[in-house]
Structure 1
Amino acid sequence: MYESYFDLKEKPFSLTPDPEFLFLSESHQKALDHLLYGLESGEGFIVVTGDIGVGKTTVCRALLSRLSDRFTTSLIVNPLLTEKELVRAVLEDFGGVPPPGTKKDILDALNRFLLAEAETGKRPVLIVDEAQNLPPGLLEQVRLLSNLETEKRKLLQIVLIGQNELKEKLSLPALRQLNQRVTVRSEIRPLSQKETARYIDHRLGVAGGGGRTLLSPGAEGAIYRRAVGVPRLINMLCDRAFLSAYLRASAKVEREDVRRASESLAAPGGAARRVLRWVPWVAAPLAILCGLLAAYGRIF
C-alpha cells in the first residue's frame, strides 16, 4: 500500500526470507564463519543458537548458498517426528529412497547412501532447524547418526540450529555424550543500534529507496529501542510505521509513527506480543512494549 507512495519497487520489510535482502551483522557473519570453518574442517557437531527473530534462518540460508559442490545437504525444518520418521526424512531430503520396513532398514539404506556419497568425494551435512524442539530421545537418535563412519572419517556432519533453550537441553545428563561431541558453538545476538540503522537502510535500498532519507533520526532511534535489535521485530515495526506515515501523507517516518506501530503490534493478539514473549533476554523492553506502550509513547 505504501510502496508506491514512497516510490519503492517492493515491500522493504517483508517477513518472508529473500536472498536479495540478505544483511549480515557482525554476529551473523561470525556464526556463518564458524559454520563454514567447522564443515570445511570436518568437525563433528556444530551448534548455532539464538533467540527467536534474531536471524538464525538467515544464517542457515546464507550457509546453504555458500557451500561448495563438494557438500550435499539434508535440511530438516520440522523436527517433530518419531525416530523412524526422522531417519526417513533425512534420507529423503538427501535424495535417497527409503525402503519400506523398520527403522533399522532405513538406517541401513542411509548408511549405504552415505558410503556411496563418500566414494564420490561428497561430504553430506545434516542441518536440523528448530532443534530445541527435539525431545532428548530424538536428539540421541541424531547423535547415533553421527556414528556412521569409515575408518578414516565420519560419513555425516551435523548442524543443530535452535533457540537458546537448545543449550540448556544439551546440558542434560542424558545428552552428555552428544554435548561432548559439539566442537563448534556460536550464538547469534541482536543487532546493535548502528547495525539496526544500517539494516533499515539496506532493506530500503534494495527496495528502491536508496539515497533518500525516509526515516527521521528520532524514528530510527525509537525503532531500535522498541525492537531491541531483533530483525524480525524491526521489520514488523518498520512496516507498520511506514503505513502510518503513508496514512498521514508524510514525506518520512517520524517517531510518532513508530509509537503508533508499537501500539498496534503490542495490542492483545498482536504479532510482536507473540514474538516477544519468547525473548527472555529483553524482559525490561518487553514490559515497556507490551505493558507500558502508551506511557512510553508520551515520554518519547
Structure 2
Amino acid sequence: MYESFFGLHSKPFDLVPDPRFLYLGRAHQKALNYLRYGIEEGAGFVLLTGEVGSGKTTIIRNLIGELDTGVCLAMVFNTRVSGEQLLSLINDDFGLETVGKDKVTLLRDLNDFLIARHAEGCRSILIIDEAQNLSPETLEEVRLLSNLEAAHSKLLQIILVGQPELQKVLARSDLRQLRQRISINCNLDPLNRQETENYILHRLELAGNREAVRFAEGAFDVIFKHSRGTPRLINIFCDFLLLAAFAESTTVLHPELVEEVAGEFSTREASIREKDPTASGPPMGAEENGSWKDILSLIEDLQDRQQKLMGRFVLQEKMIKSLIDGQREVAKQKAENLRMEETLSGISRQLSDLRTGLRFSSGIRSELPEKEPEKKGFLERLFGV
C-alpha cells in the first residue's frame, strides 16, 4: 500500500521468506557455505538450526534455487507424524504412489527409486523442515533411511532443519547413532548491531529505493534493541515503521515515531513477563516453550494497530480528496469568471467602437423614419447621439 509513496516497487519487509531478499550476515554466510559444501561432498546428514524467525527457510529456499537439474528433491514440512506417515510423505514428494501401501512396500519403492535415479546420475536430497517436532522414534526412522546406499556413496542426502530444541533432542543417548552421522552442523545466530542496519538498508535497496526513508539518529539502535537481531522481528518492526511514516506523510523516521513503535514491542514483552514471572534468560522470541506463540501474538497486535491506523488514514484521505475537489471547483469557477470577464471586455470594446462611429454619423436620427421613435430613443440613451 505504501510502496509508491516511498518509491518502492515491492514491500521490503514482508514476512514471506523470499530468497531474493536474502542478506548474508556472518552467521548466514557461514551456514550457506556449510550447506553447499555438504551437498557437493555428498554428506549423509546435514543439520541446520536457528531460532524462530532467524532466516532458516530463506536460506533453504536460496539453496534450492542453486541446485542443478541433476538433483531430485523432496521436502517435508508436516513433521507431527509417525515414522510410516513420514515415509509416505517423502515418497509422495518424490512422485511415488503411496495410496494403500504399507511401510515395507513404501520403503522398497523408495529404495528402487533412489537406485534408479543414482543409475541416471541424479543425486537425491531430502529436506525435513521443522524437524524439532519429530519424535525420537521418528528420528530413528530417518536415520535408517541413510542406510540406503550404493557401493561407494549414499543414495539419499538428508538435511534436517529446525529450532534449537532439535539439538537437545539429538543429544539423547538413544539417538547417538544419528548424531554421529551428522557431518555438517551449523546454527544461525542473530544479526549483530551493524548487520541489523545493513540488513534493513539491503532490503530497502532490493525493494527499489535504499533511501526511501531517513532514519533518525539512534533509530537503528532502537530497532536492534527490540528485535535483538532476529530478521523476522526486524521485518515486523520496520514494516510498521514505514506504515506509520506513510500515515503521517513523512519520509523521516523521527525519534518520537521510532519510540512509539518500539513501545509496542516493550509493552508486549512486559505483558509476557507479567503473565510468567519465572520467564528469564533469553528475551522474547527465544523462549523454549512458546516463542512462536509470542511472535504470532505480537504480529496480531501490530496488525490490529495497523488496521486502526489505516482507518484513520482512509478518513484523512477522504478529507484531503474533499478539499482537493473543492479547490478544483473554485479553480473551475475562477476560470469561468475569467472567460466571462474577457468576453465582457470584448463586448465593451465593440460598444465603444460603435459609439464612436455613431457620433461621427451626423443625421442618423433624421435617417430613421418618424414612425420609429422607439429606436431613436434607444440610440439616444445608449450612444448619446
TM-score when scaled to structure 2? 0.68
Cα distance in 2 for residues equivalent to 1:94 and 1:22 = 27
Cα distance in 1 for residues equivalent to 2:69 and 2:26 = 26
Cα distance in 2 for residues equivalent to 1:226 and 1:252 = 20
Cα distance in 2 for residues equivalent to 1:77 and 1:52 = 15
Cα distance in 2 for residues equivalent to 1:212 and 1:251 = 7
Cα distance in 1 for residues equivalent to 2:225 and 2:48 = 26
Q: Secondary structure at the match of 2:252?
A: coil
Match of 1:88 in 2: 88
- Equivalent AA in structure 2 for residue 53 of structure 1: G
Match of 1:132 in 2: 132
Match of 1:151 in 2: 151
Alpha-carbon distance, 1:266 to partner: 5.3
Q: Is the 8 A contact 2:216 2:255 kept in 1?
A: yes
- Equivalent AA in structure 2 for residue 191 of structure 1: L
Q: Secondary structure at the match of 2:214?
A: coil
Alpha-carbon distance, 1:157 to partner: 0.8
Q: Secondary structure at the match of 1:69?
A: coil
Q: Relative contact order, CA 8 A, sep 6+: which one is greater?
A: 1
Q: Secondary structure at the match of 1:209?
A: coil
What whole-Å deviation, never above 9, does each CA across 1:234-283 have from its counterpart, x for those lacking one? 0000011112222333221123223222333555599x99xx644149xx
Alpha-carbon distance, 1:72 to partner: 1.4
Q: Secondary structure at the match of 2:9?
A: coil
Alpha-carbon distance, 1:123 to partner: 0.9
Match of 2:168 in 1: 168
Aligned: 1:279 with 2:286: yes
Aligned: 1:33 with 2:33: yes
Comparing 94-103 and 231-240, the one that deviates more? 94-103
1:208-287 map, 5 Å: 208-265=208-265, 267=267, 277-280=284-287
Comparing 65-74 and 176-185, the one that deviates more? 65-74
Cα distance in 2 for residues equivalent to 1:145 and 1:174 = 17
- Count residues with an aligned counterpart: 281
Q: Secondary structure at the match of 2:101?
A: coil
Q: Secondary structure at the match of 1:217?
A: coil
Alpha-carbon distance, 1:213 to partner: 4.7
- Equivalent AA in structure 2 for residue 216 of structure 1: A
Cα distance in 2 for residues equivalent to 1:74 and 1:172 = 27
Cα distance in 1 for residues equivalent to 2:268 and 2:70 = 49
What whole-Å deviation, never above 9, does each CA across 1:218-244 have from its counterpart, x for those lacking one? 212211111111000000000111122
Alpha-carbon distance, 1:99 to partner: 5.3
Alpha-carbon distance, 1:212 to partner: 4.9
Alpha-carbon distance, 1:132 to partner: 0.7
Q: Secondary structure at the match of 1:125?
A: strand
Q: Secondary structure at the match of 1:78?
A: coil
Q: Is the 8 A contact 1:99 1:109 kept in 2?
A: no
Match of 1:65 in 2: 65
| Higher radius of gyration, 1 or 2 | 2
The percent of aligned pairs where both chains have the same amino acid is 41
Alpha-carbon distance, 1:134 to partner: 0.6
Gaps (5+ residues) in structure 2? Answer: 274-282, 289-293, 299-385
Cα distance in 2 for residues equivalent to 1:244 and 1:101 = 55
CA RMSD of aligned residues (A): 2.4
Match of 1:120 in 2: 120
Q: Is the 8 A contact 1:241 1:261 kept in 2?
A: yes
- Equivalent AA in structure 2 for residue 178 of structure 1: L
Q: Secondary structure at the match of 2:3?
A: coil
Q: Is the 8 A contact 1:148 1:156 kept in 2?
A: yes
Cα distance in 2 for residues equivalent to 1:269 and 1:25 = 26
Comparing 191-200 and 1-10, the one that deviates more? 1-10
Cα distance in 2 for residues equivalent to 1:209 and 1:280 = 35
Cα distance in 2 for residues equivalent to 1:169 and 1:182 = 14
Alpha-carbon distance, 1:133 to partner: 0.8
Q: Is the 8 A contact 1:98 1:109 kept in 2?
A: no
- Equivalent AA in structure 2 for residue 101 of structure 1: K
Q: Is the 8 A contact 1:99 1:106 kept in 2?
A: no
Aligned: 1:2 with 2:9: no
Cα gap change, 1:133 to 1:255, in 2 (>3 Å):
farther
Gaps (5+ residues) in structure 1? Answer: 291-300
What whole-Å deviation, never above 9, does each CA across 1:92-120 have from its counterpart, x for those lacking one? 11222225221111111111110111100
What whole-Å deviation, never above 9, does each CA across 1:175-213 have from its counterpart, x for those lacking one? 111001111111111111111111111111122222455
- Equivalent AA in structure 2 for residue 49 of structure 1: T
Cα distance in 2 for residues equivalent to 1:268 and 1:252 = 25
Cα distance in 1 for residues equivalent to 2:259 and 2:238 = 11
TM-score when scaled to structure 1? 0.87
Match of 2:322 in 1: none
